[in-house]
Amino acid sequence: MEYYLVKWKGWPDSTNTWEPLQNLKCPLLLQQFSNDKHNYLSQVNKGKAITPKDNNKTLKPAIAEYIVKKAKQRIALQRWQDELNRRKNHKGMILVENTVDLEGPPSDFYYINEYKPAPGISLVNEATFGCSCTDCFFEKCCPAEAGVLLAYNKNQQIKIPPGTPIYECNSRCQCGPDCPNRIVQKGTQYSLCIFRTSNGRGWGVKTLVKIKRMSFVMEYVGEVITSEEAERRGQLYDNKGITYLFDLDYESDEFTVDAARYGNVSHFVNHSCDPNLQVFNVFIDNLDTRLPRIALFSTRTINAGEELTFDYQMKGYGDLSSDSVDHSPAKKRVRTVCKCGAVTCRGYLN
């Protein structure tokens, strides 16, 4: 007869018991147990057929250890997923998935929904004036006051070229929440999944639903720091082979966004030299041109299950030649090898 060693929820390991299959009313856990066992044997055998001798009367200690670690990881990732969904303030849900290895939630990452200013940096998040339009499509609205075109069409798709700033209606405007010029401020509308990549790129993000071309997907948020501080942190990050610094250089290069410790889903979006997301600078309540918000829009239709990527050297401008952009303010840095796999891959992230 087959027996299973059961850890009872809420009870210490000392109360574990061996139970026959007919005593277990947990089909999902049993299926996960079987899947984890099969996955471990597949990894050990490296694709070879699993023979009956692999299913011995007793589980080998290494298999048992793997199954326990996988179960603990599953619980930890579920708790992290719940925490992310408690903290986020947008419509889209966040899922977490790791079918690749035993990596659990990041230990030093804190989810935020908007910029977190470092000590000494002030973010003015209240506009001083707004529009009085009854229909922002046809009247002189906030973009016109700023000397630029309205960024969106009636399908909520962006219609301006990269490098052109977006001026959305703000808290002082008399138009309501359904105004067609309020897109980025409503946050991510799509359900996304943070998943473990299988080719050594760590975590990534994929969409769970189809995203139409030229649609707003997410903001890039993090800690706002000075460029001098970014220079110092950049050296540390390069030595670890990670890149989370994004220069706010729309009109000046005083500030940088660092999403290493504080960020949202965008923290986990990987680089690609042929990305499906494009960067735009956005101004809503804070009209300080030194501190634009960073919005990521789809460049094409993105199908459900497809990974989301953006070019880490992209600055919201059309020109992506190697001498015109620099993702980080620091020069003479350790170069990080790119693993994006694109036909047009430049070879390095920085």
Q: Is 143 exposed, middle or buried (0-12, 13-18, 19+ CB in 10 A)?
A: buried
Known binding residue 136? Answer is yes
- Residue of 220, 237, 244, 250 with catalytic role: 220
Known binding residue 142? Answer is yes
Known binding residue 155? Answer is no
User: For 116, which DSSP code?
Assistant: E
First to last CA, the chain: 59
Cβ-contact 277, 296 below 8 angstroms: yes
How far, in Å, CA of 276 to CA of 292, rounded?
21
Q: Which two tokens stand for residue 175?
A: 């138009």
Known binding residue 193? Answer is no
Tell me the helices (H) and strands (E) count for the chain, helix number first.
4, 17
User: For 52, which DSSP code?
Assistant: G
Task: Tell me the DSSP string of 216-253.
Answer: EEEEE--EEEEHHHHHHHHHHHHHHT---EEEE-SS--
Angle at 76 between CA 70 and CA 81, to 5 degrees: 125
How far, in Å, CA of 242 to CA of 158, rounded?
31
How far, in Å, CA of 12 to CA of 35, rounded?
25
Q: Is 142 exposed, middle or buried (0-12, 13-18, 19+ CB in 10 A)?
A: buried
| Annotation marks residue 167 as catalytic | no
Known binding residue 26? Answer is no
Residues in CB range of 53: below 8 A, 6 or more apart: none
Known binding residue 270? Answer is yes
Known binding residue 271? Answer is yes
| Annotation marks residue 317 as catalytic | no
Known binding residue 169? Answer is yes
- Residue of 66, 167, 250, 312 with catalytic role: 312
Known binding residue 87? Answer is no
- The partner residues of 279 in beta bridges, in order of sequence, read 296
Amino acid at 333: R
How far, in Å, CA of 114 to CA of 282, rounded?
13
Annotated binding site for Zn(2+): 131, 133, 136, 141-142, 169, 173, 175, 179, 273, 338, 340, 345
Binding residues: 131, 133, 136, 141-142, 169, 173, 175, 179, 201-203, 270-271, 273, 312, 338-340, 345
Residues labelled catalytic: 220, 312
The binding site for S-adenosyl-L-methionine comprises 201-203, 270-271, 312, 339
